[in-house]
């Protein structure tokens, strides 16, 4: 008989308490980078190694394929080559006892039905569709398998938040745990300096959700619903000292927003037109006032058209990337939360309220929900950036 000795990797006390318990269901709301993924990989591997056998399936389910692939690579690297067989195309790891650990995407919930699963992890549950949970739950029916649902907090209006509240209230068979960045700092998993840097650089609502596991009331909105509404006031009086222009792309809208010296919106245009007409309208509205223009993609030739004939001094391009857009939106969030910008009721606050953020490995991604527009949000953020530049104190030059 072949004997394999297993030694569990070192884990923090909070990881063991939250995940390695006897409950069939464990719901864990946790700070980013607090070790929840690592601990759940260890848990799933133990379920397969110690309780598995030939033909028994164990699933790791993530919102999208690339996230599932990350977890697959991490477990593959952690297991000794002698004690696992890997299928790169199927994202499976087979253990010596014949148990198979699968890494799957929840993008198409219908593809999750049909199999019998003996234990599972639903990763990033707050960012997964509820239909994927329904499908995963069906696979655990005949086996009565255990499941761990883990994720960052993302507002209050999602199914994972509701499940966590039921577990927290003592739902039979469920265990609830909350893991914060401070827990991870005390355990030596996170650096306190990194957490403090995030506190300084991220909007308050984003930091609280990602690092303190404290849900906002607005479903992950980076500006705050109360703050958005507090900035609504009638269209201000001109003149504008700065403009922001978001150019139409495909079915989107070109939006021009002007801010007066107080930061009040005093001009708002929203239209769809051919590029030649767009250039003419933007030039006529903005004139010689400093204007920041989205020059991403098709915006480059439009910006060049605006800059001809002396416009180079007034029209400046701003290329959107994940990093530059994050910086722009965080600047807008600060203005909104400190009531240093204003806009009329209607399309602007409507798009601001629908706006969302999503945490990725490269930072915080700001975007409108699928199928919705964010043209006025982008134009307002560009106008705020141009307005901020206009209000900066000019250096005094002394001639001797």
Tokens found for residue 110: 């219908």
Residue 373 pLDDT more than 90?
Answer: no
pLDDT by residue (tens digit) across 122-170?
Answer: 999 988 989 999 999 999 999 999 999 999 988 777 789 889 988 998 8
In this predicted structure, what is the pLDDT of residue 2? 67
User: Regarding beta strands 85-87 and 265-271, do their DSSP bridges make them parallel or antiparallel, or are they unpaired?
Assistant: unpaired
Rounded Cα distance, 59 and 57, in Å: 7
Instruction: Verify that 94 and 140 share a domain, yes or no.
Output: yes
Of 188, 212, 236, the one marking the end of a domain is 212
Tokens found for residue 214: 């404290």
Instruction: Verify that 190 and 270 share a domain, yes or no.
Output: no
Instruction: Verify that 229 and 147 share a domain, yes or no.
Output: no
Instruction: Verify that 234 and 198 share a domain, yes or no.
Output: no
Domain of residue 362, residue span? 225-391
Assess if residue 86 is contained within a domain.
yes
Tokens found for residue 109: 């919930």
Residue 221 pLDDT more than 90?
Answer: no
Assess if residue 113 is contained within a domain.
yes
Assess if residue 60 is contained within a domain.
yes
**DSSP-based three-state secondary structure for 9:** coil
> What CATH number does the domain containing 111 carry?
3.40.50.300
Mean of the per-residue pLDDT values of the chain: 89
Of 154, 179, 212, the one marking the end of a domain is 212
Rounded Cα distance, 256 and 273, in Å: 13
> What CATH number does the domain containing 315 carry?
3.30.420.240
Residue 234 CB neighbour total at 10 angstroms: 11
- Enter the DSSP assignment of 93: E
Of 185, 212, 239, the one marking the end of a domain is 212
Q: How many domains does the chain have?
A: 2
């Amino acid at each position: 008989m072949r004997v394999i000795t297993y030694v569990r990797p070192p884990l923090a006390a909070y990881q063991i308490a939250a995940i390695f318990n006897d409950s069939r269901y464990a719901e864990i709301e946790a700070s980013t980078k607090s070790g929840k993924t690592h601990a759940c990989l260890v848990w799933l591997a133990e379920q397969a190694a110690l309780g598995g056998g030939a033909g028994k399936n164990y699933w790791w389910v993530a919102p999208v394929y690339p996230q599932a692939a990350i977890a697959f690579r991490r477990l593959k690297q952690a297991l000794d080559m002698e004690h696992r067989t890997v299928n790169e195309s199927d994202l499976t790891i087979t253990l010596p006892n014949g148990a198979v650990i699968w890494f799957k995407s929840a993008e198409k919930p219908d593809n999750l039905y049909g199999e019998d699963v003996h234990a599972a992890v639903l990763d990033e549950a707050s960012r997964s569709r509820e239909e994927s949970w329904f499908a995963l739950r069906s696979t655990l029916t005949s086996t009565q398998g255990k499941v761990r649902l883990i994720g960052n907090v993302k507002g209050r209006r999602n199914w994972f938040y509701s499940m966590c509240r039921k577990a927290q209230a003592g739902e039979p068979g469920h265990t609830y745990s909350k893991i914060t960045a401070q827990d991870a700092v005390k355990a030596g998993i996170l650096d306190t300096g990194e957490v403090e840097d995030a506190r300084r650089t991220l909007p308050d609502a984003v930091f609280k959700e990602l690092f303190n596991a404290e849900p906002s009331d607005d479903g992950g909105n980076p500006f705050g619903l109360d703050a958005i509404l507090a900035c609504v006031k009638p269209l201000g009086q001109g003149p504008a000292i700065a403009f922001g222009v978001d150019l139409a792309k495909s079915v989107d809208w070109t939006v021009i927003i002007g801010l007066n010296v107080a930061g009040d919106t005093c001009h708002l245009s929203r239209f769809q037109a051919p590029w030649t007409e767009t250039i003419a309208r933007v030039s006529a509205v903005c004139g010689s006032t400093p204007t920041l223009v989205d020059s991403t993609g098709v915006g480059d030739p439009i910006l060049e058209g605006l800059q001809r004939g002396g416009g180079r001094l007034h029209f400046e391009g701003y290329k959107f990337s994940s990093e530059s857009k994050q910086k722009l939106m965080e600047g807008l969030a600060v203005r909104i939360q400190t009531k240093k910008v204003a806009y009329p009721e209607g399309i602007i606050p409507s798009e601001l309220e629908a706006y969302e953020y999503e945490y990725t490995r490269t930072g915080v991604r700001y975007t409108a929900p699928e199928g919705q527009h964010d043209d006025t949000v982008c134009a307002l953020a560009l106008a705020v950036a141009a307005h901020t530049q206009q209000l900066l104190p000019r250096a005094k030059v002394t001639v001797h």
